[in-house]
Structure 1
């Protein structure tokens, strides 16, 4: 990579925003300054589209996003999905079959309609967005798996996330991708070949930006493909060991405006 990256890509949770899910004024300001200068900034996240507004509300202008771990590329200005790469129903069914055989007490949810809606089995444990009007239970497993899904979510009680994702990944090898972005035991499953790196690569190709000219930030295992792909992959200090292991550099933690401080230094923005 040259001295000045041509595009900045950043994960959201645990990287760009603080642990209370707020974006610091300093971070919002530096992202706005880069955009005004003509440097594209892209959010690359495991979040679904429906979870982006709470971030956009804290930005000067909404930023394009690669969502659902690379399965959805979203233009917030037009509220338009530019690309979606979901698991087809037949693949969903096979993944679910393999995982139920491996983990009998597993429960599932799916992100559908380009991640604007989530459907879940009755016994799937919901978290902080349980009352969202786009989240609803299904009556049968067949209904859950009947439409294309940009992400299949799997839980099975309390699990060590790294051990659980390794188990899930082995079970779906060759059919789907498995990763995680939290410490709650949630495994996120995408179509084969779908990663943050793949989604960002598609978007960068659209802009004519090479991987070597991309500066990327992340903190969790779902960021590893993106940080490995980018010309410069940077981990925040609070990152998972797998991310620290592949990063070209390690910066301040998300709670310390690590990304903002680094961008100010690299781009001479203050």
Structure 2
């Protein structure tokens, strides 16, 4: 990438956002400066749409987002879903059937209504979202496959996520995509071919932007497809080894405003 990028794509949790879920004033200011210069900024995240307001409230202006690991492309100004690529109910039924057979104690949740609502098995651990009206327990295990879902989540207690994702992927046999972005053993499943790279590529195609014109930031295995696709891949210092291995550059950690520090140098910001 010889010239400045036309688009900056960044993951949120563990990359742009600090461990306390805050976005620093420095980071918000840098993103605003490069956007004012005409560079497109896109958030590319595993988060559902309903979790984006926490970040938008800390930015100077809302920016487009690729959510649910590429399954949803969202325009915050119009509050509009530009594209959605969900798992169909019949696919959900087969995926959950296979995983219940292969993984003892597996429990599931689904992101539905384009990621505006979550439905979960009765045994699913609901932590800080307890009491949120957009979160509802399923009446029966079969209801997990009753409507299309932009993401299926599976847990089976605390497990090594790098090991567990391989178990899940083997059970799926290419039927769907399995990845992870946490350290607790939570596995995220999307329709086959749906990744952060695919969602971002669709957005870039709509705007006439080539991969070579994109710089992307990430920290976890679900970022690897996007980082591989982008013209320049940057890992934060706290990134998973799989991300550091394929990155072109490494910046400071998320708690040290690594994305902002890198962009300040790249764009020669004051």
Shift of 1:268: 1.3
Q: Hey, which bits of structure 1, 4+ residues long, moved more than 4 A?
A: none
1:1-270 correspondence runs (5 A): 1-270=1-270
User: SS of the counterpart of 2:263?
Assistant: helix
Q: What's the TM-score once normalised by structure 1's chain length?
A: 0.99
Q: Deviations over 1:156-193 (max 9, x none)?
A: 01111110011001111221000000101100000000
Q: Deviations over 1:53-72 (max 9, x none)?
A: 00000000011000000000
Q: What's the TM-score once normalised by structure 2's chain length?
A: 0.99
User: SS of the counterpart of 2:169?
Assistant: helix
How far apart, CA to CA, are the structure 1 residues paired with 2:170 and 2:127? Answer: 26
Shift of 1:120: 0.3
Shift of 1:130: 2.3
Structure 1 range deviating more: 196-205 or 166-175: 166-175
Q: Deviations over 1:115-134 (max 9, x none)?
A: 00000010011222122110
Shift of 1:104: 2.3
Q: Structure 1 unaligned runs (5+)?
A: none
User: SS of the counterpart of 2:114?
Assistant: coil
User: SS of the counterpart of 1:114?
Assistant: helix
How far apart, CA to CA, are the structure 2 residues paired with 1:130 and 1:269? Answer: 42
